[in-house]
Amino acid sequence: MSKNQLRKGGSGDKEHSRTEGNTTETRDHASVRRRFITRHINAHGKLLIADLLAAFPGTKPESIKGDIASMNRAGGSYRKVGKEILDGTAPATLGLADRSSMNGEEKSLVADLAVSFLIGFTQAPENKKPSLKDRIYSERQILQWLLSCGPDAKNTAQRVRAILLKHLAETSRIVALDDGTTTLRVAEKLRKFLVPVSGTNLNHLTVCTNSREIFNVLGDSAVEQIRAIVVGGQQIGRSSAIAGPLAEHFLRSCALLQFSVSMVGASSMTVDKGLAFSDTQEEAIIKGILFSKSALRVIVVDNAKLDRRGVRHGYAFCSLDPQFCDLVITNSPIALEFLGDCDEDERKEHAERINEFPDLVKAIEVRGIPVLVAVSERTMKFPYEGHPGKNSTDGEKP
């Protein structure tokens, strides 16, 4: 097909137009672009946005979103991750290193809050490497935030608070971390603390994981203060996850493995439909088993994983319902002035993310699940001005 035919939708075809923002494009032109996206992803597993723009100059972000939505309505499962479009049914085409590089600052913020939740600091610890500048939240802050969640999540928050107090009173604790980039950050931060940790009740910590990477971090001979248990089984795809029938049997048959807290990641969360998704079906089953063996079930995700669209992003492992999940830990979006080097379209997309974030949090809490939001000097303060408030860190510092 010639370039002229691409522009006109093919010779002899009647041209239909639609308006998107300030641009007008033909339906046939959009159809050709969508076929290009589908064929490229089928052949290569993913499509760089830069390659799409090179093939179809002038394509707007709104058009790309429309393409993905249209292809998903037609039975596809596509999603935009960073500067790529992926097939949602085969997200494992991205390796751990590729996924870890996405939203690194946001994942680190979530991990800071998650570690503080697991350890429970009554004061700033002394036996921590002084060169590391992780943010530490006090036990008092976290307990106060749980009390100030939305009204629909009050009952769950009170139950979480009671279980958390029991967990933090224990001198010996066993927790679970599943495979994922955010949980890997949690593990990396955990290893910085020398157990027993000053300013806490913690004397012994055991971490069970189905991640080779997390086991490498915590099972290192240099990390004598944390006992690491790795789930046995088969590695899944290019990820570091151990899952499948052997791993499931390992967890189900080991009655000794009962966790006070399980923290799992998610490839995405569609808050309107109330579902959390995993990269693969095997990993989704492992997440469910970890939750079934835990007193507290926590999902840790950076804010980019939250959306309102009803698009299937992999395999659902959890309904956002207090029967299946107790808490979500996420982060407030990075403020626009700290966004760094990005083009106008990316800045506009991030501004939209900032605007919708409070409503995404509210949509989760309306379902009865409290949300803890990590902030820093570079993020939007939460709550935003004009929105019902909670989880602000402007108050007491640990």
- Consecutive H or E run containing 277: strand 275-278
- Number of structural domains, the chain? 2
Walk along the chain (398 residues) and give the pLDDT tens digit of each residue: 444 443 433 333 333 444 444 344 566 778 888 888 888 887 677 788 888 888 888 888 878 888 888 887 776 777 777 778 877 654 444 454 544 445 788 999 999 999 999 999 887 665 554 334 568 888 999 999 998 998 999 999 999 999 999 999 999 999 999 999 999 999 999 998 888 888 889 999 999 999 999 999 998 877 788 999 999 999 987 789 999 999 999 999 999 899 999 999 998 899 988 999 998 899 999 999 999 999 999 999 999 899 876 555 678 999 999 999 999 999 999 999 988 777 777 788 889 899 999 999 999 999 999 999 999 999 999 988 655 445 444 444 33
pTM: 0.77
Note the pLDDT of residue 309: 63
The reply to whether 383 falls in a domain is no
Classify residue 61: in a domain, yes or no.
yes
Does 113 lie in the same domain as 81? no
Residues 112 and 54 grouped into a single domain: no
Q: Same structural domain for residues 213 and 246?
A: yes
Q: For residue 126, what pLDDT is reported?
A: 57
Residue 116 and residue 63 share a domain: no
Instruction: Name the nearest CA neighbour of 210 among 170, 260, 252, 164.
Output: 252
Look up the CATH number of the domain holding residue 348. 3.40.50.1360
Q: Do 288 and 330 belong to one domain?
A: yes
Identify the three-state secondary structure at position 350.
Answer: helix
Q: Are 53 and 67 in contact (CB under 8 A)?
A: no
Do the beta carbons of residue 277 and residue 313 sit within 8 Å?
A: yes
- In this structure, is residue 388 part of a structural domain? no
For residues 90 and 320, what is the distance between their CA atoms, to the nearest angstrom? 23
Same domain, 104 and 42: no
Residue 13 included in any domain? yes
Tell me which of 87, 105, 130 is where a domain ends. 87
Q: Using DSSP bridges, classify how beta strands 327-331 and 259-264 pair: parallel, antiparallel or unpaired.
A: unpaired
DSSP for 168-185, written as a single string? HH-SEEEEEE-SSHHHHH
Residue 398 lies in a domain: no
Last residue of a domain, one of 59, 87, 115: 87
Whole-angstrom Cα distance, residue 339 to residue 256?
A: 46
Say whether both 81 and 104 belong to one domain: no
Confidence (pLDDT) at 310: 53
Burial state string for 80-109 with b = 16 or more CB within 10 A and e = fewer than 16: bbbebbbbbebbbbbebeebbebbeebbbb
- Residue range of the domain that includes 343: 97-374
Question: Where residue 74 sits, what CATH number does that domain have?
Answer: 1.10.10
19 lies in the same domain as 130:
no
Cα 48 from Cα 35, distance rounded (Å): 15
Q: Are residues 125 and 64 in the same domain?
A: no
**Integer angstrom CA distances of residue 295 from 165, 166, 290:** 12, 10, 10
Asked if 7 and 124 sit in the same domain, the reply is: no
| CA 376 centroid distance within chain | 18
Q: Give yes or no for a contact between 241 and 210, defined as CB atoms under 8 angstroms apart.
A: yes
Measured between alpha carbons, how far is 79 from 76 in angstroms, rounded to an integer? 10
Domain end point (choices 49, 69, 87)? 87
CB 330 within 8 A of CB 371: yes
Asked whether residue 56 falls in the same domain as residue 138, the answer is: no
Does residue 45 form part of some domain? yes
> Same domain, yes or no, for 162 and 201?
yes
> Do the domain assignments include residue 382?
no
Q: What is the pLDDT of residue 26?
A: 64
